[in-house]
Chain A
Amino acid sequence: MVYNLGISRLDELIGGIKGGTNIMMIGPPMSGKDDITNSIAYHGLIDGNATVIVSTREPGKNVLDWFESRNLNILMEHIGIVDCVTRTLGFGAPETENIKMASSPVDLTGIGVKISQFFEHFWMEIQLRETRLCINSLSTILMYSNLQTVFRFLHVFTGRIKAANALGVYVIEDGMHDEKTIVTLKQLFDGMIEIREGEDGYQMRVVGLTPKPTQWFDYEIDGVNIILRG
């Protein structure tokens, strides 16, 4: 069971990410982390994986629109979104096939229940054996709960990713948290996708999934694809 990010140069260098891997994606605001996360999710769908996205900053509907509006050749029934936003806005939006509602980013119990329900649904009912979980983002969750609380939550869910041979991607805003937070959370992850601002736009590299960190690549976001340059 091997996963690809769908970012071709990086995938070649990594040579396949093994099931049960948890990756932290850290980068500055405006560097396109939402698109990169969705792109990783999209490539999972292309590979026949199920994808669960926990959305803490945008209503689930918007995330679903990202996929629907692009007319992609994917099975929408393989997408599950845990929406942590809509109900904090005071909207009583009902759950749908694709979108389950957590009460708020504080509601870690609810977020955990909804992730587990999607996992069960994809595994038992649709019988998909490869699943991606993208949490976008941990930074919002950290705004409402302290580090220890978030650590406990992640401890459980990175463990579930391992047990299910799934792939976990967790997004963090660079510059929003102190060093201790990042160092503490890093312990839970097998590798990182790091993003920084370069001279000529943003750059990314992968750490921990290859013997040495990869070089920094300039990248651009082209629709659903991330194109590396250099």
Chain B
Amino acid sequence: MIETGIPKLDGYLHGGIPEGNSLVYYAYPGVDGGVFGMQTISHAVSGGRCGAYIASSTDPRMIRDQFMEFGWDMGESVFADRFTVVDAFSGLIGADSQERYVVPEPDNINSLTQCIKQVIEEMPEPGIIVFESLSTVMDLCGEKETLDAVLEWNKYAMLYDHVMVYNFTAWPYSEETLLQVKGDACNSVVSVGGISEKVIFGWYFGLLKLDWAEMIRKWVLFKILKPGGVRIYIPKILVTGPFDAGKSTVVHALSNRAVSVDRLGTTIALDHGHIDHNGFAADVFGTPGQERFDPIVKLLSGEAMGVFLVLDSANATGFARGVRMLEITESFGLPVVVIANKQDLPEALAPEEIKTRLDIPESVPIVPAVASAREGVFEAFEMLVEMVMGVN
């Protein structure tokens, strides 16, 4: 198995890509599918595997910089004998190459095949070969020629137990070509798409094909972070609860970046933070706690995908108000995690005790936390993410 390192995807692939198999990242034009291949090879190489990256549209001298933008240091000396860049670019512009593997004529499929086979043969142990852009190969060498070659490469790689991964941009090629890329060409297909209306404003991925195990039909939203790479994205998580329970503190504790619009120390408008944790990115929005802001809370809560209810464990008088706020946010039905905050205070009630006093469904988890010390909040986040992912 070679893991992709793409959050959630390895689960959908039942652990990763088994040796001798192939995968294509099938991206819609304008959607950054290339990062998927890069993340996959950098994950594999930093995990101790051998990897070769076939550069078709980028000057090989720039490839390591490109990985570096995401924080993946492929230039590290420990990787020197494990990570290879195959230069299928310089030949196009008539430039010299410093790479060990060079395709003399990148627009000739036989020239490419010869080089790929050599890479396959010479890789010292089963590893991974990632194509920066199969569509560029197709543009240069022809659709049919390229598809035939892919079948040949995949078969050949299978003999050596290598994994083949292709980044592909689904330009309007012939219907037949697109069907084949999505169909017979590889063992698995991950569709990387964009939600567009006037512009593309959201990105998702999911499996289109898997032939080594049962296919999981799930789609997830993602975001690309620099540094970081592909992150599962949850556009809106609400943090609600009574005044002074610690909502702002929770938002800040979870966030890499957070802004509060504060007046006199208490939140009148909103706290907003970006979380990047464990392969998941999320935007969190805090709501004000006082009743006079209830109409605003309603406004803020549209389109939320999950809710934290923050309670001051030492102040039971606020519990009813907290539950009431869940109603105002109309979040019943949405995944909810209760954060039993301020567990450090001597008079704090235990989570089980709080549960008996809350009029909410039995299934809602209660997580003990000390937000001011960033304790418990990430456990709560992981729990909520699991619930959000389960619902979708």
Contacts and interface: CB of A to CB of B under 8 A. Distances in A.
B29 A106 contact: no
Given A107-B58, A123-B201, A152 B92 contact: no
B201 A109 contact: no
A28 interface: no
Contact of A106 (B62, B66, B136, B201): B136
B30 interface: yes
A117 B30 CA distance: 8
Interface stretch (B43-51, B112-120, B182-190, B191-199): B191-199
B258 interface: no
A165 interface: yes
Interface centre among A108, A153, A164 (most CB of B within 10 A): A108
B57 A106 contact: yes
B105 interface: no
A48 interface: no
B62 A103 contact: yes
Contact of B31 (A103, A106, A107, A113): A113
Interface string B110-141: 00000000000000000000000101100110
Contacts of A115: 30
Contact of B59 (A103, A108, A109): A103
A17 B15 CA distance: 54
Given A104-B89, A146-B139, A116 B199 contact: yes
B30 A123 contact: no
Contacts of B133: 107, 109
Nearest to A103: B58
A146 B135 CA distance: 13
Nearest to B60: A90
A155 B139 CA distance: 15
A156 B30 contact: yes
A184 interface: no
Interface stretch (B165-173, B261-269, B342-350): B165-173
Nearest to B169: A109
Nearest to B32: A113
Contacts of B32: 113, 117
B29 A110 contact: no
A183 interface: no
Q: Is the interface of A mostly helix, strand, loop or mixed?
A: helix
A110 B69 CA distance: 15
Contacts of B197: 163
A8 interface: no
A201 interface: no
A4 interface: no
A112 interface: yes
Nearest to A153: B171
A206 to B, nearest CB: 26
A106 B137 CA distance: 11
A188 to B, nearest CB: 12
Interface string A122-155: 0110000000000000000000111011001101
Nearest to A102: B57
Given A107-B58, A156-B30, A145 B139 contact: yes
Contact of A109 (B61, B62, B65, B135): B135
A109 B57 contact: yes
A165 B30 contact: no
Nearest to B139: A149
A155 B136 contact: no
B198 A163 contact: yes
A160 to B, nearest CB: 7
B198 A165 contact: yes
Interface string A93-114: 0110000000110111110110
B334 interface: no
Interface in B312-326: none
A5 to B, nearest CB: 22
Given A152-B171, A160-B30, A109 B136 contact: yes
What 9 pairs across the A-B complex have the smallest Cβ distances?
Answer: A116-B30, A103-B58, A107-B57, A92-B65, A149-B139, A152-B171, A109-B169, A119-B199, A123-B199
Interface of B: 27, 29-34, 56-59, 61-62, 65-66, 69, 89, 92-93, 133, 135-136, 139-140, 167, 169, 171-173, 194, 196-201
8 contacts: A104-B57, A104-B89, A106-B92, A120-B199, A145-B140, A163-B196, A163-B199, A164-B199
Given A87-B62, A107-B133, 5 more contacts: A88-B59, A103-B59, A108-B136, A116-B31, A145-B140
